[in-house]
Amino acid sequence: MSYIIDDPVNQRFLLHRAVHVSPAVLAEEMDKVFAKCWIYVGHGSELAKPGDFVTRKVAGRPVIFARDAEGAIGCFFNTCRHRGAVVATKREGNARRFFCVYHGWSYGLDGSLARIPGEDAYTGSFDRNEYGLKRPPRFEQYRDFWFMCLDPDAPALQAYLGRATEYIDLVVDQSPSGTMQVISGTQEYAVAANWKLMVENSVDDYHLPTTHSTWLNFMANSGVTIERPPREAGQVLPTKGYAISLGNGHFTTDNVNFRGRPVAHWIPLYGEAARDEIDAIRQELVERLGPERAERVANTNRNLVIFPNLVINDGSSVTIRTFFPDGPERMEVTAWALGPVEEDESARARRLDAFLTFYGPGGFATPDDVEALELVQQGMANWRSDEWSEMSRGMGKPESEQLNSDEHHLRTFWRHWNRMMQENA
């Protein structure tokens, strides 16, 4: 079935609420979405030295993300080829080999089978060269953001990302050397809601004035100018931002006026001592990138969604956020702060403060968002009697005039998701 009613003539867009509650829909998503798309694995800076590794679940698959002795980055399914046990049991570390505690099979940093206890008992057609750790069919990177794909016939990663690369470049351009670094420390939390609700929430500025009024007041009291357009004009956003479709289900918000603690804009909250340092950061950006590009990097905010489940928030700090379903009505969320490798101690402290103040699970915004999403999920219990969510806001405008408070970017996601779910139906 089609899960959307998309009627541009009557400017009407409805979403069937079964998509947020149905185990059958989730099972179908695993085959048609997560098994077909490029899914974010990690950032290369997480693996600073040969032998460094992290383990995590990606699209429900336990994987090892590792740098081998020659410095090459790889990704392997974290499953022993012998009897299927998880091989690497630590969250992260540095190793010379990966060792299965069940029967002692061990694997090199490149995934090759290194040792089998009592190997002489294996005879006949057994070939140890066939028993290295399995790899995802595709594993590629763009500017040190590494993705895997379970579909061997998928297009190359850069082709899949398409215009989204322009916005990743705006993030990486914050570094004088083009080298960004995941900062030590990870945010992890669960939300009792369907994973797709986090996609919507990550870019939905329509909820900002109501859900995040405490944060807006905090920012105003901290010296950030927030212009609230008159409500009679039909605009309730405190920013002038746009929603932009980027193809392949990707999209971004682009806040062109709101200066809510971006990378190189001073506000009183930072204190007078930070003025000169921030001026120096801005001057470096202008000299390296030119004034127009520097303005884009330093003083605009963006929330980029890479379909299906990667969000790069480039605002008060740079945050990488992924979220995976743990059943149809629960998701696991992971977020990391990202910053230029050259960043000095005081600039890094401001970045981490912003990361925690707004995005953290104990910050101003995230607890509000979690509560809102869980209330939505609770309301979905009535989906059989109230089947459709209304998502038509802004539908009568041309794409170039779609604001962050409209639902154009949400419709972009749902149209692409619905197309994928209809394939091979």
pLDDT digits (tens, 9 = 90+) for 56-96: 999 899 999 999 999 999 999 999 999 999 999 999 999 99
Indicate if the pLDDT at residue 276 is higher than 50.
yes
Q: What are phi and psi of 245, to 5 degrees?
A: -80, 140
Strands 318-325 and 250-255: unpaired
Q: What is the mean pLDDT of residues 327-336?
A: 96
Residues of the chain with CATH 2.102.10.10: 43-149
How confident is the model over 156-174, as a mean pLDDT? Answer: 96
Tell whether omega for the bond before 238 is within 30 degrees of 0, i.e. cis. Answer: no
For residue 233, what pLDDT band results from cuts at 50, 70 and 90? very low
Phi, psi of 310 (to 5 degrees): -115, 130
The whole-number pLDDT of residue 425 equals 58
Query: What does the pLDDT read at residue 135?
Result: 98
Asked whether residue 232 carries a pLDDT value surpassing 60, the answer given is: no
What's the pLDDT tens digit per position in 190-227? 999 999 999 998 888 766 767 666 666 666 666 665 55
CB 388 within 8 A of CB 395: no
Give the DSSP H/E element, type plus range, for residue 32. Answer: none
Would you state the pLDDT for residue 235? Answer: 37
Q: How many helices (H) and strands (E) does the chain have?
A: 11, 20
Q: Which residues pair with 65 in a beta bridge?
A: 54, 75
DSSP 268-304: GGG-GGGHHHHHHHHHHHHHHH-HHHHHHHHH-EEEE
Residues 6+ apart with CB under 8 A from 263: 174, 281, 297, 298
pLDDT at 236: 37
Distance CA 98, CA 320 (A): 28
User: What was the pLDDT predicted at 80?
Assistant: 98
Contact by Cβ (8 Å): 37, 417: no
Contacts of 418 (CB under 8 A, 6+ apart): 2, 3, 4
User: pTM for the complete prediction?
Assistant: 0.91
Q: What is the CA radius of gyration of the chain?
A: 23
Q: Which amino acid is at 59?
A: A
Question: Which of helix, strand or coil describes residue 130?
Answer: helix
**Average pLDDT in the 278-282 region?**
90
Query: What's the CATH code, domain 43-149?
Result: 2.102.10.10
Residue 13 vs residue 356, higher pLDDT: 13
Residue type, 342: E
Question: How many residues belong to the chain?
Answer: 425
Please name the residue ranges forming H helices in 183-274: 195-203, 208-211, 213-221
48 confidence band (pLDDT: 50, 70, 90): very high
In this prediction, residue 412 has a pLDDT band, given cuts at 50, 70 and 90, of: very high
CA distance 315 to 255: 9
Residues 207/420, Cβ–Cβ less than 8 Å = no
Q: Judge whether 180 and 168 are in contact, CB under 8 Å.
A: no
Encoded tokens for 358: 């707004």
**Partners of residue 251 on adjacent β-strands:** 245, 305
Q: How far apart are CA 263 and CA 272, in angstroms?
A: 16
Fold of 12-17+162-422: Naphthalene 1,2-dioxygenase Alpha Subunit; Chain A, domain 1 (3.90.380)
Task: Report the alpha-carbon distance of residue 359 to residue 369 in Å, rounded.
Answer: 10
- CATH 3.90.380.10 boundaries in the chain: 12-17+162-422
Buried residues in 250-274 as b, exposed as e (16+ CB within 10 A): bbbbbbeebbbbbbbbbbebbeeeb
% of residues, the chain, pLDDT over 90: 68
Number of neighbours of residue 320 by Cβ within 10 angstroms: 20
Tell me the pLDDT of the chain averaged across its residues: 89
pLDDT: is 291 or 363 the higher one? Answer: 291
Q: Please check whether residue 143 is in contact with residue 172, taking contact to mean a CB–CB distance below 8 angstroms.
A: yes
**C-alpha to C-alpha distance for 33 and 35, rounded to whole angstroms:** 6
Better pLDDT: 239 or 349: 349
